[in-house]
Amino acid sequence: MKTPVGRRNFVAAVTSSLGALAQSAPAPGTTRPLPPDAGLFPGFEAKWVSSNGAGIFLRHGGEGPPLLLLYGNPQSLTCWHKVATRLAKRFHVVAADLRGYGDSIGPTDGGNDHIHYSFRVMAQDQVNIMAALGYDRFFVAGHDRGARTAHRMALDHPGRVLKAALLDILPTRHVWANTSKEWALNS
């Protein structure tokens, strides 16, 4: 009889084998092993794209107009697997990890005020991956942190974003203008 592995030991074993991958982004022109799919994205291709010092991992597939899917914290692109395969019947779906999340790799130096992990930089990464796939204009749907990234993308690149769906975020302007200690404690 096999002894079950506890969650803590499992996470330690997995992260110890991924430690080398998490150190830095892949050098331009180099290849990196593709993470396994486990059957979650049938018919989708896995790909790495280099963007501004980061290695962005994505899966893409389907037929039709391009649709970029961005997830929220602490998830990864795999959270889209059930809807991505359905959407792929009508769209060319691109499910991408944000820099430093999921299987994507960001720079080890976050920069002054963590600028290398700002929504503006993450939005530019996603514009870059869509361009690498041959798309100048596309639809985008984002959830939580992905929605904030999509929002920044729509502000910075209005000519590229055809339409945006922002899920499960409060309006940014409202949050910054109305946040108080009382509001935060009662939320």
pLDDT tens digits, one per residue of 4-29: 555 544 444 444 444 333 445 555 55
For residue 183, the model assigns a pLDDT of 79
For residue 50, the model assigns a pLDDT of 95
Mean pLDDT of 134-157: 96
CB 96 within 8 A of CB 128: no
CB 162 within 8 A of CB 138: yes
Domains, the chain, in order of start with CATH, read 49-182 (3.40.50.1820)
In 3D space, the residue among 152, 187, 180 whose CA is nearest the CA of residue 166 turns out to be 152
Taken in order 147, 149, 151, 154, the sign of the CA dihedral is negative
- Letter for the amino acid at 79? C
Does this model's pTM top 0.85? My answer is no
